[in-house]
Amino acid sequence: MTIEILPATEETMIAIEAWLDVEEAAYQHAEITWERSGYEGEMPVRGFRCNWNSVRRTWSGGNAAVHVLMVDGEPVGFLDGKDILEIRPDLRKQGYGRLLAQFMLDRFADERRSLLEIEIAPRSAEPFWRQMGFSVVPDRRGPGGGLYAYRIFDRTCELSDAADVDFSIDFFTESQRYDGEPAPFASMAGRGERLPDGSVQLPRRAICFDPKHKGHQDYYVRIRVDGRQLLFDKVKRDDSRKLGVHRDAGYTYFVDRILVPNGVSDGE
C-alpha cells in the first residue's frame, strides 16, 4: 500500500467533489427521514460539501493550500489549511484522519508557531481532536458555531549548568494592566541563562495566550530580570520588540530570549 499526502490537483479536486456529492445526498435523505420520525434518534451529521465551493474558489485563485491524502493513487481525504479535514465516509476509522491531522500539525510546527487554534465540527469529532493533543474550551465557540480547541507547541531550550538568572514574564489585557494590582492572564517565571551577548535565554517559550480570550486584544507585557523590571508596555511597541517580544506566523506574541539593553538576538 502506498500512502502519500500531496498538493491538490484539478483531477483530485474533481474526485473529492464527487464523493462529497454522494455524502451530501445521503445526508439530505437522512435528514428528511429524521424529521419525519419526529426527530427521534441522533441528528444526521453533515459533511463539508456545503463549504466545498468556497474551498475550491480560494484554491483555484492560489489563495489556499489544499492537501490530499492518496492511498494507492486514489484520493481518500483532504485538508484545507487548518479549517477543514475530511476522510471519505466509507474509509473512516482506519487511521487516515490521524495521518492528515499529524501532517497539519507538522506543517504549522515547522513555521515555528506557538500554538494552533481550530474549530471542531461536528461535535462528534471532539474525541478525535483530543487524542491529537488539542484542548477544548467548552464555553467558547468558533466562528462557525463549532467547538473551539487549541494545541500549544512547547518550544523548549536546554540550558547549561550556568542557568542562574531569575526572570519573570507576565501578559495582561488592557483592563488588567490598569488595575490597582495588575493580575496577569499568563505568566512564566524561573531561571534563565545569561549568554555572552548579555541576553537571557529562557528554558521554554513564554506566549501571550489565554484560551478564554476571543480574538486578539491590545495586550501588555511585563518583563523582569533578577528582580528588576525592564519593561511594562504593549506587546506591539518597539520597546517590547527590542527586549525580545516577537510575533509568530499565527500572530501570537512570544518571548524566547530576553534582550537586555546591550543584547542582540533574533528571538528564535
The structural domains of the chain, with segments of one domain joined by +, span 3-91, 165-258
Q: What is the mean pLDDT for each group of 10 consecutive residues in the chain (268 residues)? A: 95 96 93 89 87 93 93 96 93 94 95 94 91 93 88 94 91 88 92 93 96 81 94 95 95 94 46
Q: What is the pLDDT of residue 265?
A: 41
Placement of cell 474551498 in the chain: 55
Grid coordinates belonging to 17: 467533489
**Nine-digit cell string for 168:** 519573570
Q: What is the pLDDT of residue 143?
A: 78
pTM for the model stands at 0.86
pLDDT at residue 213 in the model: 79
Q: How high is the pLDDT of residue 268?
A: 43
Residue with cell 519593561: 231
Task: Output the pLDDT for position 264.
Answer: 40
* Strands laid side by side in the 253-258 sheet: 228-234, 220-225, 165-172, 186-194, 200-207, 253-258, 245-247
Distance, CA of 64 to CA of 250 (rounded, Å): 15
CB 3 within 8 A of CB 69: yes
Q: For residue 6, which amino acid is it?
A: L
What does the pLDDT read at residue 267? 41
Give pLDDT, residue 129. 96
